[in-house]
Structure 1
Amino acid sequence: MTDQTGAPGNDADALFDDLPSNIDTDVFSVARLYDFLLGGKHNFAPDRDFGRRLLAIEPNGRMILQQNRLWLARAMRVMLADGVRQFLDLGSGIPTQGYVHELAHAVDPAAKVVYIDNDPPAVSHSNYILRDGANAGAVQADMIDAERVLGDPTVKSLIDFDQPVGITALAAWHFVDDKDDPAGVLAAYRRTLAPGSYLALTHATIDGATGDIVRNVQSQYQAVMKNPSPRTRDQIAGFFEGFEILEPGIVNLPAWRPDRPEDAEGAEHVWFYGALGRLAAPA
């Protein structure tokens, strides 16, 4: 069954009898919004209502988030091929629909993954999804509080910072306001990382012909949550200080190492940039 937007229907709004009690199905969640737009099942009526409003402004919304996940798969392929076996995902939302732990464990079931999100219901929902695995967990913390995240017992038990780590931040860093020093926060994480670690980041941009659409989407978010901050390529480049940005650089998602040349067609309509940076050994 599908709804009018083409996503799987979810009339019962209670797919699981044993959901954690702090998940309020009557309150909007950006984590569940993304799940809805990706065609997942971990979403409820307020999330779908907001998602439909966004799709009325940007009909390509589903495709853009699908491209975000496809980009992650390609970036994970690079990191895993380089031997990275532990990942810290910042601003994770709900890890469904082929996310970091699934991609990592498909290559190595012993790979370690920790998800970080500041939304208690999203973290509860995440740990519900991860409940059968010992090598992945979710932590409630604000991703911009690097000291708190890095000192968390779950993070410390699963992640060995003496070995390379993949830091992933997918469609999350544009929710960090300039006053919170997004580049400085990422630098705090970088200082804990061993050589060979990576930063994988996707970020909404106001560059290009889609700028007006992005601003209209931004105005919708203002009514329900912290105002997102889409940025330019140069601003996003500043987040990679200390990392070598791998080819092809900071580009629209489909143009980043597409599996087939035709997969990059229409990349200019995807108003997210993606980039992968590798931390080299100190000179």
Structure 2
Amino acid sequence: MTDPTGAHAGNDVDAIFDDLPSNIDTDVFSVARLYDFLLGGKHNFAPDRDFGRRLLAIEPNGRVILQQNRYFLARAMKVMLADGVRQFLDLGSGIPTQNYVHELAHTVDPAAKIVYIDSDPAAVSHSNYILKGDPNSGAVLGDMVDAERVLGDPTVKSLIDFDQPVGLTALAAWHFVGDGDNPAGVLQTYRRMLVPGSYLALTHATIDGATGDLVRNVQSQYQSVMKNPSPRTRQEIAAFFEGFKILEPGIVNLPAWRPEKPEDAEGAENIWFYGVLGKLIAA
């Protein structure tokens, strides 16, 4: 059954996910499942849908923004894959549906390795169901802020060879890392494991521009269900890329990042997420 927005309206997750952990609290909000709802998925629960509707009442472009986030991913993956990158570590992955990292990579090379990291047990369960039977992909339950634990995870160590270039991706996730968790320092911990030729692909909510007040209203809504929502300025986001060469066109609103057609970038100023891709030039 679907609601008028096209999202799954049942209180339980789709029956095909019969391996959902028994300790999942379906009454607790999850960003991963919120994004699934906004993208038209069915792996979400009532609190995720309720919050999503409140969000859309403030920002009707919410779904468009997340669609643009996926379009950016496809274009950034094209650059990394063309440069020979064949392994990817995705931080704050959510539920990897609808042409996500593993599908994009395996279209080019079925042997490409992908590991998804998320702190939501249900999202990780869903991810491992989706990836079942794929020896080159896996999902790990972990806090992306705890970089040392993520990097030491057995699945990460078995699939990712850090002696070779890695595509590190953090899409619509890093604005949930508050300043108190030292977001730049955490990314530097990951960077120290990477060899030159690796990449960092990031999308991030911003308070720059004419949409700043709107973004602050959205931030206030998030504060009702979680801590540390932190949209940032271009300058603050640039600080995350120490050691990386930021590729053209720089830190820009998502539709303006290497659009396939000039008209695809129209209205970019209304999409209050930046997209940026950096290439590691020094270990």
TM bucket, shorter chain = over 0.9
Aligned to 2:281: 280
Native 8 Å contact 1:169 1:201 kept in 2: yes
Aligned to 2:107: 106
Cα–Cα, structure 1 residues 239 and 57, in superposed 2: closer, same or farther, change >3 Å? same
Q: Distance in 2 between matches of 1:281 and 1:252?
A: 27
Match of 1:178, as an amino acid?
Answer: D
Question: How big is each residue's C-alpha offset from its partner over 1:129-172, in whole Å with a ceiling of 9 and x where there is no partner?
Answer: 21221111111111111111111110000000000000000011
Aligned to 2:261: 260
Native 8 Å contact 1:37 1:61 kept in 2: yes
Structure 1 residue 14 corresponds to structure 2 residue 16: no
Name which of structure 1's ranges 97-106 and 160-169 shifts more when overlaid on structure 2. 97-106
Aligned to 1:66: 67
Q: Distance in 2 between matches of 1:230 and 1:281?
A: 28
Question: How big is each residue's C-alpha offset from its partner over 1:4-35, in whole Å with a ceiling of 9 and x where there is no partner?
Answer: 33x34434633225141333333221101000
Match of 2:61, as an amino acid?
Answer: N
Aligned positions, number: 281
Secondary structure in 1 aligned to 2:126? helix
Name which of structure 1's ranges 7-16 and 206-215 shifts more when overlaid on structure 2. 7-16
Question: How big is each residue's C-alpha offset from its partner over 1:184-213, in whole Å with a ceiling of 9 and x where there is no partner?
Answer: 111111111011000000000000011111
Secondary structure in 2 aligned to 1:137? strand
Alignment of 1:86-165 (within 5 A): 86-165=87-166
Native 8 Å contact 2:29 2:48 kept in 1: yes
Q: Distance in 2 between matches of 1:199 and 1:179?
A: 22
Native 8 Å contact 2:102 2:137 kept in 1: yes
Aligned to 2:3: 3
Aligned to 2:76: 75
Cα–Cα, structure 1 residues 87 and 107, in superposed 2: closer, same or farther, change >3 Å? same
* Stretches of structure 1 lacking an aligned partner (at least 5 in a row): none
Name which of structure 1's ranges 114-123 and 238-247 shifts more when overlaid on structure 2. 114-123
* Stretches of structure 2 lacking an aligned partner (at least 5 in a row): none
TM-score by length of 1: 0.95
Coordinate RMSD, CA, aligned: 1.4
Native 8 Å contact 2:244 2:282 kept in 1: no
Aligned to 1:210: 211
Match of 1:32, as an amino acid?
Answer: R
Structure 1 residue 25 corresponds to structure 2 residue 11: no
Cα–Cα, structure 1 residues 96 and 23, in superposed 2: closer, same or farther, change >3 Å? farther
Identity between Structure 1 and Structure 2 (%): 81
Q: Distance in 1 between matches of 2:13 and 2:184?
A: 39
Aligned to 2:234: 233
Native 8 Å contact 1:23 1:124 kept in 2: no
Cα–Cα, structure 1 residues 22 and 133, in superposed 2: closer, same or farther, change >3 Å? farther
Displaced runs of 4 or more, over 6 A: none
Cα–Cα, structure 1 residues 142 and 14, in superposed 2: closer, same or farther, change >3 Å? closer
Native 8 Å contact 2:243 2:282 kept in 1: no
TM-score by length of 2: 0.95
Name which of structure 1's ranges 21-30 and 271-280 shifts more when overlaid on structure 2. 21-30
